[in-house]
Chains A and B, each alone.
Chain A
Amino acid sequence: METIAIPAINFAPIMPEVILSIFGMALLLVNVFVPSEQKAYLGYLSLGGILLTAVSVLNGWNAPVSGFSGSVLQDNFAVFFKCIFLLSGGLTILISDHYFKREGCNVGELYPLLLFATVGMMLMASGTDLMTIFLGLEVLSVSLYILAGLNRASLKSNEAGLKYFLLGAFSTGFLLYGMALTYGATGTTRVIKIAEFIAQNGVVAQNPMFFIGMLLMAVGFSFKIAAAPFHMWTPDVYEGAPTPMTAFMSAGPKAAGFAAFMRVIIIAFPTLKADWSALLWILAVLTMTIGNLIALNQDNIKRMLAYSSIAHAGYALVGFTAGNAEGTAGILFYMLSYAFMNIGAFAIIVLVGKKGEENNNVSDYAGFATKHPVLALAMSVFLFSLAGMPPTAGFIGKFYLFSGAIKAGYIWLAIIGVLNSAASVYYYLRVMVYMYMKNPVEEFDWMKFSAPVTLCIVIAVVGVLVPGVMPAYLLELAQKAVLL
C-alpha cells in the first residue's frame, strides 16, 4: 500500500480561525436541540468560543507565523485586528439575546453566523494573498447578508438583507475583477510578490490593466468600509438590520475592511504611494463630508449613527492617506475605540427599544436622563467619544489620525477633518439635547435590564474612558502592530 504524501500543514497561523469555526459548526448542531426560549445558552457557548479564540490569538502577539505557502500571516497587525473583531463579536453577542427575545425571533443560527462572520474577518486580517482575503471577505459577507435580514417578520430587516446582498455581490464583483486584473498584470496574487514584481518591473505601473485592477480593488474595499461614494447601502442596511447586527456591522466588518485594504495597498503598492494617497485623499474628504452633512439631517438614531459611521470611515481614511506610522497606528487604535463606543451606543438603543417599534427617533429620547440618569450618562460618554471630545478614546484616536496627516504634510486634509468633526458635534449633541434638556414624554417603563446588556455597556464605558485618560499602553500596542 502506498500512502499519499500529505505535505506537512502548519495550522498555527490559522489556529484561532480553526477554533472559532469548530465552535460555530458545533453550535449549529447544538442549536437543533436547544428550545427556542433557551437560545441564550448558545450565546454563552459562543462567548466561550470567542474567549478561547482570544487566548489563541493573543498567543500570537510578537510571534508572527506564516503558513500555507505565504498566503496567511498572523503578525501583530493581524492579532490587533483579530482582537477588535473578537471584541465586536463578543459585545454583540452580549446584546443579541435581549433583543431577539424581545422581538420574538429567537433563532439560534444567529450565534454560529456571528462566529463565522468573525472567522471571515480574521481571515481578512491575516490574509497575505488576494485569494485568502477574498475568501475571508466572502465568509464574512454571506454571514452578514443573513444576519442583516435575520428578523424575518420585519419588512425593513428583509429589505436590509436583500439590499445588502445585491449591492454587496456587486461590489464583490468589482473587487474580484480588480484582483484578477492585478493578477493578470503581475502574475501573482501574493501581496508581497506583487510588490516585488513592481519593484523589479517598474514599467508595470504604466500598464492600464494594472491601474484599473488597483482602482477596482479600491472600489471593492471602499464599499466594505462604507466610504463615499460607495456608501449608499449603509443607511438602509443599518436602519433595517436588527439593532445588534447594526452594531456589529458598524464595528467589526468595517475594521476588517480596513485591515484588508491596508494590507493590500500598503504592502503591495508601496512604490505607488503618491498615487494611492491622492486617491485616498479624495475618498477621505468625500466620505467625511458626505457622512457628516447627511447625518446632520437625520431623525432616526440608527440612520444617524449609520451616516456617522460613514464619517468615521472618513476619519480613518485620513490616517490611511497619511500612510505613516502615526496614521496607521491611529487607524488601529481608532477602530478599537470605535468598536467600544459604537456598540455601546447601540446597546443603549437596544435597551430603549420596544417590541415591534424600536423607538429609534431621536425625539423618543426626550427626558431620558430624568428617567434613567446612569444610562443617559453612558450614552453621553459614547456620544462625546464619537464626537471626539477629550477625555475619551475617540479624541485620542482622532488626535493620532489627524496628527499622522499633519506629519505627512496633509494639513488641509487635517483641517477639513477637524471641521467635519466640529460639524458632527451638532448631531451628537442633538441626542443629548433630547436626553437632558427636553421634558420626558414617555415613562420608559417598558425598559427591562438584563445582565449581559449591562455588562456590555459597562465594558464599553470602560473601553472608552480608560484609553481616553491613559492611552499610552494601547497606543504602544498599536504602534507595534503597524505594518510599517
Chain B
Amino acid sequence: MSQFPLISVMTFLPLLGVVLLFFVPKQSHSVHRMLAMLVTLATFAVSLPLLTGFQSNAEFQFVEKVPWIAAGPFQMNYQVGIDGISIWLVMLTTFIMPIAILSTWTAVEEKVKEYMICLLLLEVGMLGAFVSLDLFLFYIFWEVMLIPMYFIIGIWGGKNKIYAAVKFFIYTMVGSLLMLVALVTLYFKAGGGDFNLLRFYEVGLDPATQTWMFLAFALAFAIKVPMFPLHTWLPDAHTEAPTAGSVILAAVLLKMGTYGFVRFAMPLFPDATAKFTPLFAVLSVIGIIYAALVAMVQEDVKKLVAYSSVAHLGYVMLGVFALNQQGLSGGMLQMLNHGVSTGALFLIVGFIYERRHTRLITDFGGLAKQMPVFATIFMIVTLSSIGLPGTNGFVGEFLVLLGSFESELRWYAIIGTSGVILAAVYMLWMFQRVMFGELSNPKNQTLPDLNAREVALMLPLLVLIFYMGVYPTPFIDKMSPSLEKLIVHVKSRQTARAQIPQMPAPQALPAAMMPPVESK
C-alpha cells in the first residue's frame, strides 16, 4: 500500500478547482468549462490507481488516518479508506463527473462559474462521503453535499425550481439530523473513544436500542434512496434540476442512501436489520411496482425517468436486504448500473430538451427518422434500463432477484419480478411514442442529430453498458470479499434472529436451478 495520500488527493482535488475558478473572470465561460472539465478528468485520473492498486480482499485499503478534533469527550479523526463496497461507487463518481460537466457545455449559459463551483463542491462531498471511515467525517460530507445540490436545483432548475430545491433540502435534512442524534448516542453507548466506524461495528447493542437507532439511520438513508413512501421529493428534484444535476442526482447521490444501508445501518445494527427486513422488503416491492405504474402514466419524459429511478432503487434495496452474496452483489451492481443507465437517460432527456425546450411525450414522435444516431443510442440505453440480457441492467436485476428468491424474501422477489415487465412496458412505450410514428410536429422536422460532443459523452456510458452486461466478473470479484465479510458480520451478530417470525421459508428448488444455499 502506498504512503501517498491518494484518497485525499482525489477527494480534495475538485476543491482546488473551486479555488482556481474563483480567480477566473466572470465572463470567461469557456475557461470555466475547460477548467472544471480538466479538474474532473484529473480527479478521474487520480482515482484510477485506486482501482488498479485495489487488492481483492475484504480489508480497507489506502487507509489514511489523521487526528482531527480532540476536545472534551470527543475524538474525531480524519480517517478514509476504501473497500470492495465503496471502490466502485468512488469510481462511478469520478467517472460520471466529467460526463456531467461536458453535458452542460451548451445547456448552461448563465452563471457558468457558479455552476461549475457547485458541481465541483458536490464532487468533494460525494467522494468524501464514500471514503469516510469516521462517522463524524461521513456526516460532515453527507451534509455538505446538500448545499451545492440545493443551489444547482434552485438556481439553474426549471419552472418550479424553488419548491423542488427547498423540498429536497428539508426532506434530506430531517432524516440526517435524526441520524446525527442516533450517531451521537451510538458514540456514547460505545463508551466514547473515537468515531471510527470499524470500532462501532464491534459494539454489541441490545436489540431494543438497536431498533430506534436503526430507524433513525434508516430514515436518513431511505429518504435519500428514496424508498416508498419517502420518494416524493425525487420526481420534483429530478424534473426541475438541470441535466447535469439530474445525472449526478441519479447516478451518485441516490447511491448515498443505498450505500448508507450497506455500510452503516445494516452492519451497525444487525438485530434491527433482521427485525425490519420484512418492512424494507415490502417497501422495496411497493416502490418497484408503484413507481413503475406511476411512470407509465407520466407525460413528461424526465418525470418518467425519475420514477423509473425509484423502481430501480427498489431492486437495489431488495437485493441488499436479501443479505446473501447474490442479492448484495446484485444490489451493488444495480447501483452502478442505475448510475450508468439512468445517468445516460437523463443526458438523453437533456439532449432533446436543449433542442426543443419541452419534455412532453406528446410533443415528440417520429424522431428516429430525423435523428438516427440519437435513436440508436437512446434505444441501447432504454434496453439497458429495462435490463435486456447483454446489457448491464440484466446482470444486476437477475442477481437481485436470484438472491432475494433464495433468501427469506422469496415472495417479494416473485412479486418484484413483475416490475421487470412493467419497466419494459413504460420504457418501450415511451420510446415508441417519442421516437417512432409520424414526424408530424413541424418543430421536430428540423431537429439536428447529436453532435460530436454529445456522442463523445455518451460513448463511455455505452461502452460500460455492454462491458458490464457481458463481462461483469471484474466488478463482482472486487466487491465480493467485502460483501462476504459484511454478510458474515451481520448474520453472526443477529442474536435475536431466531425469535423473528420468518417469512415463508424457501422450499427446496430443483437443484439445477439454484446454486448451493448457504447455511444460516
Chain A residues with CB under 8 Å of chain B are: 325-326, 329, 373, 384, 389-391, 395, 399-400, 402-403, 406-407, 411, 414-415, 418-419, 421-422, 425-426, 429-430, 432-433, 436-437, 470-472, 475-476, 478-479
The answer, yes or no, to whether B185 is at the interface (CB within 8 Å) is: yes
Question: Are A422 and B155 in contact, CB atoms less than 8 angstroms apart?
Answer: no
Since A325-B73, A402-B180, A411-B185 are in contact, a sample of 20 more A-B pairs with Cβ atoms closer than 8 Å, ordered by chain A residue number, is A389-B144, A390-B140, A390-B144, A399-B180, A403-B187, A406-B188, A411-B181, A414-B181, A418-B180, A419-B177, A422-B174, A422-B177, A425-B169, A429-B166, A432-B154, A433-B166, A437-B165, A475-B72, A478-B71, A479-B71
Chain B interface SS verdict (over half):
helix
Bound-state Cα–Cα, A414 to B181, Å: 7
Q: Are B72 and A325 in contact (CB under 8 A)?
A: yes
Instruction: For A415, give its contact among B73, B139, B178 (CB under 8 Å).
Output: B178
Q: Which of B71, B154, B180 contacts A471 (CB 8 A)?
A: B71
Interface pair A415/B71, CB less than 8 Å apart: no
Q: Does A426 lie within 8 Å of B146, measured CB to CB?
A: no
Chain B residues with CB under 8 Å of A421's CB are: 177
- 6 nearest CB pairs, A to B: A475-B71, A418-B177, A390-B140, A422-B174, A472-B69, A437-B154
| Contact call B72/A429, Cβ cutoff below 8 A | no
Complexed CA–CA distance, A436 and B118 (Å): 13
Residues of B within 8 A of A415 (CB): 178, 181
- Alpha-carbon gap, A399 to B178, bound state (A): 12
What residues on A are CB-neighbors of B74 within 8 Å? 403
Give chain A residues whose Cβ lies under 8 Å from the Cβ of B188.
406-407
Per a CB cutoff under 8 Å, which of B68, B147, B173, B178 touches A472?
Answer: B68
Nearest Cβ distance between residue B141 and chain A, in whole angstroms? 8
Residue B162, interface by CB 8 Å: yes
A395, B143: Cα distance in complex, Å: 10
Decide: A436 and B154 in contact? CB cutoff 8 A. Answer: yes
A326 neighbours in B (Cβ, 8 Å): 72-73
CB distance from A193 to the nearest CB of B (A): 30
- In the complex, whether B184 has a CB less than 8 A from a CB of chain A is yes
- A400 and B180 CA atoms in complex are apart in Å by 11
Do the beta carbons of A406 and B181 come within 8 Å of each other? yes
Question: How long is the Cα–Cα vector from A432 to B140 in the complex, in angstroms?
Answer: 21
Q: Is B374 interfacial (CB 8 A cutoff)?
A: no
If A419-B174, A429-B169, A476-B71 touch, whether A437 touches B162 (CB-CB below 8 Å) is yes
Complex alpha-carbon distance, A326 and B71, angstroms? 9
**Which of B69, B140, B178 has a CB less than 8 Å from the CB of A475?**
B69
The residue from A391, A422, A429, A475 contacting B150, defined by CB atoms under 8 A apart: A429
In whole angstroms, what is the CA distance A462 to B166 when docked?
27
> Which chain A residue has the least Cβ–Cβ distance from B72?
A479
**Do residues B180 and A389 form an inter-chain contact, with CB atoms below 8 A?**
no
Q: Does B517 contact A (CB under 8 A)?
A: no
16 contacts between A and B (CB under 8 A): A390-B139, A391-B140, A402-B180, A403-B184, A406-B185, A411-B185, A415-B178, A415-B181, A419-B178, A421-B177, A425-B173, A426-B170, A429-B150, A429-B169, A433-B162, A437-B165
In the complex, B95 has a CB within 8 A of chain A: no
Find out whether the CB atom of B155 lies under 8 angstroms from the CB atom of A437.
yes
User: Restricting to B155-195, which residues have a CB under 8 Å from any CB of A?
Assistant: 155, 161-162, 165-166, 169-170, 173-174, 177-178, 180-181, 184-185, 187-188
| Chain A residues, Cβ within 8 Å of B155 | 436-437
> What is the chain A residue whose CB lies nearest that of B181?
A414
B511 within 8 A of A: no
B residues less than 8 Å from A476 (CB atoms): 71
Cβ of A477 to closest chain B Cβ, rounded Å: 9
Smallest Cβ-Cβ distance to B137: which chain A residue: A390
> For residue A411, which residues in chain B have a CB less than 8 angstroms away from its CB?
181, 185
Q: Report the separation of the CA atoms of residues A402 and B185 in the bound assembly, to the nearest whole angstrom.
A: 10
Is B70 at the interface (CB under 8 A from chain A)?
yes
Q: In the bound complex, how far is the Cα of B177 from the Cα of A390, in angstroms? A: 12
Question: Chain B residues with Cβ under 8 A from A390's Cβ?
Answer: 139-140, 143-144
| Contact between A425 and B154, CB atoms less than 8 A apart | no
**C-alpha gap A424/B438 in the complex (Å):** 52
Query: Which of A325, A425, A430 counts the most chain B CB atoms within 10 A?
Result: A425
* Whole-angstrom distance between the Cβ of B421 and the nearest chain A Cβ: 40
Which B residues touch A472, using CB under 8 A? 68-71
Q: Mark B120-155, 1 if CB is under 8 A from A, else 0.
A: 000000000000000000011001101100110011
Residues of A within 8 A of B181 (CB): 402, 406, 411, 414-415, 418
Determine the chain B residues whose CB is within 8 A of the CB of A422 once the complex forms.
170, 173-174, 177
Give Cα A429–Cα B74 distance, bound, in whole angstroms.
Answer: 30
Residue with the highest number of chain B CB atoms closer than 10 Å, among A373, A414, A437: A437
Instruction: State the CA gap A437–B187 with chains docked (Å).
Output: 39
Known contacts A425-B169, A472-B70, A389 near B185 by CB under 8 Å: no
Closest chain B CB from A326 CB (angstroms): 6
Residues from chain B with Cβ under 8 Å of A433 in the complex? 154, 162, 165-166
Q: Which residue of A lies closest to B156 (CB)?
A: A437
Closest chain-A Cβ to B137's Cβ sits at a distance in Å of: 10
Q: In the complex, which residues of chain B have a beta carbon less than 8 angstroms from the beta carbon of A470? A: 69
Q: How far is the CA of A430 from the CA of B170 in the complex (A)?
A: 12
State in angstroms the CA–CA spacing of A88 and B189 once bound together. Answer: 38
Chain A: CB-nearest residue to B163: A433
List the B side residues contacting A471 at CB < 8 Å: 69, 71
> What is the chain A residue whose CB lies nearest that of B178?
A418
A28–B166 CA distance with the chains assembled, in angstroms: 50
With the chains together, A479 CA to B74 CA distance in Å? 11
Instruction: List residues of B (36-83) whose CB comes within 8 Å of A's CBs.
Output: 68-74
Chain A residues with CB under 8 Å of B150's CB are 429
Q: Which residues of chain A come closer than 8 Å to B165, judged between CB atoms? A: 433, 437
